Structure 1
Amino acid sequence: MATNERTTGLRRFFERLTASAAELDAQELQRDSAKCGAVLADQCSRGQVVSVSGRLRTVAYTPRTNLPTLEADLYDGSDVVTLVFLGRRAIPGIEPGRQLTARGRIAIRDDRKVIYNPFYELEAPR
């Protein structure tokens, strides 16, 4: 048993040693997401009410014909969920690089996972 645990520990050590920075970042985001009890984005499906946690990759104001829209891509290390804030041009604190947890119902738009007007909680900047 001790030999098996040692082998597993060595395997993890070498995996971390040879992993790219992006892979290590993705693993850390997934661990953080699991700690706060959020569902991983790649496990979310249409119609499901979920809590997802991760880092904002992009934030863009998208002018629509009658309704301004702020869209933010939340990456949790497994997949991206786009947060769509209808009727908003900007939201203080919603900016690339910020960590947050969002809650809402998953929809699918253009084969991408979307949450419209999510409840969200910003994490303190690191």
Structure 2
Amino acid sequence: MGSNGGGYWRRLVRRLTSDVEELDADDLSRKVMAVGAQRACDCQSGQEVTVLGQLRSVELCPRDAAATLEAELFDGTEGVMLVWLGRRRIPGIEPGRTIKARGRIAERDGRKVLYNPYYELQTT
């Protein structure tokens, strides 16, 4: 069966015994590399980055008079909060959607954040 056959069986057994969320995370992580984006776990505060992932949650956060739209992007390695200041809604920004976002990574309360990122909705 050669070396390729052993790798095939290992992958097959892993796919059959792994958690669905873990497999989805692996698939997302591979897509990130394929489009030339950085993995969220490798991004450092202050860096200009491009990340790709699936939106886990989207919520309107009214703070005082200024609203912010916050979405958690997960790329299979780690989450990044996307925050649009002064926005209540953005068409296409909804849970489950895959997007590519670009901006400068910041840190807020120990979490990675992109403020007012440029973004592209992805078709999958």
Q: TM-score, normalised by structure 1?
A: 0.93
Are residue 17 (structure 1) and residue 13 (structure 2) matched?
A: no
SS of 2:95's equivalent in the other structure is: coil
SS of 2:83's equivalent in the other structure is: strand
- How many residues matched? 124
Shift of 1:8: 2.1
- Structure 2 partner of 1:31: 30
> Cα RMSD between the aligned structures?
1.2
- Structure 1 partner of 2:99: 100
Gaps of 5+ in 2: none
Per-residue CA distance 1:39-90 (angstroms, 9 max, x = gap): 0111111011110001101000000123210000001111100000000011
| Distance (Å, rounded) in 1 between the aligned partners of 2:73 and 2:90 | 15
| Distance (Å, rounded) in 2 between the aligned partners of 1:50 and 1:27 | 20
- Structure 2 partner of 1:81: 80
Shift of 1:3: 2.7
Gaps of 5+ in 1: none
Whichever residue aligns with residue 48 of structure 1, its letter is: Q
| Distance (Å, rounded) in 2 between the aligned partners of 1:90 and 1:8 | 46
Shift of 1:9: 2.2
SS of 1:45's equivalent in the other structure is: coil
Shift of 1:4: 2.8
Structure 1 window deviating more from structure 2 (101-110 vs 3-12): it is 3-12
| Distance (Å, rounded) in 2 between the aligned partners of 1:122 and 1:60 | 18
Q: TM-score, normalised by structure 2?
A: 0.94
| Distance (Å, rounded) in 1 between the aligned partners of 2:52 and 2:110 | 20
Shift of 1:5: 2.8
